Amino acid sequence: MKASLPRVGYFLIGSVLMVMELGFGAAPADAAPLSERTFGPTGYDHVRLGMTVRQARATGRIDHRVKTGSGRCTGWRLKGRRKGAVLISKKYGVAAIAVASRARTPQGVGLDSLRWELKRAYPDLKFHSDPARADVAVPGHPNARFDFGFKDGKVARLLLTLAGQDCF
């Protein structure tokens, strides 16, 4: 089964991120430690793929549940982050994490990374028929995927998803 993010998934993630950007204030003034900026391989800022809502809330890193349009999943804001979202499936737990910050994958890719940097970091990267999208299995974690969106040749959207999730 090819793991990909259909157009409706991007609409869902984009909608959740847009709602979260409105009126939630600025990020904390102090910079997060480097370990908290690492996006992946199985989570971000103490929230891990597969966690239940209860487990994810217990980390103290998510808040402000938002509507997602899907009865199977709930959307949450990453606490203390101006932009960022977590989608939690009733069946699979944390299914997707989206960041819009200075977070970087363990291979050094983040927002504003160039396409060639992405290709160098992930030789197995698969570009979609839509040239603004690509995805790859997270190295060493076959049940996780990085999904990238591009604008003007740079990474503009960065998702970590659970393979086979049912949110989008």
What's this model's pTM, rounded to 2 decimal places? Answer: 0.78
Q: What are the pLDDT digits (tens) for 4-25?
A: 445 445 444 544 443 333 322 2
Please state whether the peptide bond connecting residue 28 to the residue before it is cis, i.e. omega within 30 degrees of 0.
no
Give φ, ψ of 165 to 5 degrees.
-65, 165
- Give CA–CA dist 60/164, Å, rounded: 26
**Tokens standing for 96?**
């997707």
- Sequence-ordered list of residues with C-beta below 8 angstroms from that of 20, at least 6 positions apart, any chain: 64, 66, 77, 83, 84, 85
Q: What are the pLDDT digits (tens) for 113-138?
A: 999 999 999 999 999 888 899 999 99
pLDDT reading at 29 higher than 50: no
- The reported pLDDT for the residue numbered 54 is 95
